[in-house]
Amino acid sequence: MYSTVKIMPTPYFESNHNNLNTFFQNTILGVAIVCPQNGMLLDANPMYCNMLGYSKDELLKLDVKSITHPDDIALHTHIATKENPNKSLKINRPQAHFQVEKRYIKKNGDVFYAQTTVTAIFDADGNHIQDIALVKDISQEITTKETYFDLFDNSPDLIYVLDENATFITVNQSVVEKYGYPKDFAIGKTPAIFGAPDMNDMEKVGAAIQKAWKGEAQYFDWWSVTAQGHIFPKELVLKKGKYFGKDVLIGTGRDISQRHEMEQKLQDTNEQLQKVNDEITSFIYRASHDLRSPVASLQGLLQVMRYTQKPEELEKYMGIMESQLKKMDNSISEIIDYRKITTSDIEENEIDIKSLIDEILDPLCFSEGFDSIKKEIEVNLSMPLVTDRQRITIILYNLISNAIKYYDKNKSASYIRVSINEDAKNYISIVVEDNGIGIGEEHHKRIFEMFYRATNQVKGTGLGLSIVKGAIEKLGGNISLASEVGKGCKFTIKFPNLHRI
């Protein structure tokens, strides 16, 4: 129950006047009478004047804030304005009685700590007319506090002290510097003020606070946001402790952005290594199979050829052997291409894209159906194309050769269209479109996987589109597919033009 003092009728007051005056003049405590409306000092006893080094006349021209250390004004206000349960009092602030330890500034600029007890004075009608402040110098006792504050504010960790309502009593200088807010911004507020929106599970945090109050140390990560809007992860430890004799929660935080980045990089690296490991395992198995199969076929044909002398049969077997050797050569070429696109650095070359496509088409002229396929090439570039020549050649060769390889024999007007365009962001778009046999939608998600084949109509290693995807990603671009069975395929690749304006 809050203690208050009411001014009694004059006869009673006069009978005790001498005793009160004796206490006022001779007590070892500093005593001041303060106006609650504006905080001005109305009276002060000799001890109060002596503590502050002012004459009484000088003090009566000052208010409480002017003799309070600037860093403690917010603390004083926070404690003084906690809600008062006695709603019947006609009081200018919620607290009818409170106590605070704070720093005062003397006339000569020196600072001392004092325990200040403030009690509201009411008249007979219950009107709040004065405050009486009893001030005890506790400078010697506070020497340990100063040492504490030095350690507190010089700690590189973010340190928070919270009361039973999980509101900040104080924070250290590292918190001020990290978040970009003054210390008094935090005092009296909950940790939510430093929380990144929608990134923390507040229900779990509340449960952790409850457990910490029961003496169970709590460890968890907290996403914070600074005054400038920068979001960072923080490792937080909550423990119950003492703050100058009072039970409090002490939170210790540390920015773990670098750790999170390293963990994410490690996770990404592990995933990439696992992907590479899976690809290598599959690569070794399939490559060895694709190379051994022609070898086994050649060995068998050689055995057969030993037992025949007929020229027509020998010609037939030699044709089969040539086919098998081409298959082996294609497999080796794709293995070499795969190594090139995964290991070599990017080289910047200025490319005549029309001439390059002509060079790609030239060795393909002996492919089945080549002459019956119409080739359309459209180039719309306003500036030179600069990219890695080796990789863009591998990409276009695979896409164009596939368009020829999988042309639709049942169509009388087959075509391949290659269009090259640029956008305002200096990105190049190359579209390779055909009206061949097409690829079923069920294959679209896996079509770029290593060794995946969507059709058995034409034999291949299944490396081609995987190589294309790897090469375009190495160039900082991407590839997409639009296709329907019987209608053809449309591959679109986009990548940055390395030409510097």
Count how many residues are written for the chain: 501
Beta bridge partners of 195: 224
Q: 75-128, pLDDT tens digit by residue?
A: 767 666 665 544 444 445 556 788 888 899 999 999 998 999 999 888 888 888
Q: 176-225, pLDDT tens digit by residue?
A: 999 999 999 999 999 999 999 999 998 999 999 999 999 999 999 999 99
Work out the average pLDDT over 439-453. 83
Measure the CA–CA gap between 436 and 484, rounded to whole angstroms: 10
Helix residue ranges, H only, 45-134: 46-52, 56-59, 70-80
Q: 322-343, pLDDT tens digit by residue?
A: 777 776 776 677 667 666 666 6
Measure the CA–CA gap between 131 and 67, rounded to whole angstroms: 16
Give the residue among 48, 39, 42 at the shortest CA–CA distance from 80. Answer: 39
Q: Is pLDDT at 404 greater than 50 in this prediction? A: yes
State phi, psi for 454 to the nearest 5 degrees: -90, -10
Q: 222-255, pLDDT tens digit by residue?
A: 999 999 999 999 999 999 999 878 899 999 999 9
From residue 175, give the alpha-carbon distance in Å to each of 153, 250, 408: 9, 13, 70
Share of the chain above pLDDT 70, in %: 83
DSSP, residue by residue, 378-424: EEE-SS-EEE-HHHHHHHHHHHHHHHHHT--TT-SSEEEEEEEEE-T
**Is residue 429 exposed (0-12), middle (13-18) or buried (19+ Cβ within 10 Å)?**
middle
Is pLDDT larger for residue 319 or for residue 290?
319
Contact at 8 Å (CB) between 462 and 428? no
Measure the CA–CA gap between 159 and 152, rounded to whole angstroms: 8
pLDDT of residue 457: 58
| 116: enclosing H helix or E strand | strand 111-122
Measure the CA–CA gap between 281 and 291, rounded to whole angstroms: 16
Work out the average pLDDT over 432-446. 92
Q: 118-153, pLDDT tens digit by residue?
A: 998 888 888 889 999 999 998 887 777 677 778 888
Catalogue all structural domains in the chain, each as residue range(s) with its CATH number: 5-141 (3.30.450.20), 144-255 (3.30.450.20), 266-343 (1.10.287.130), 345-501 (3.30.565.10)
pLDDT of residue 2: 39
pLDDT, the chain, mean:
84
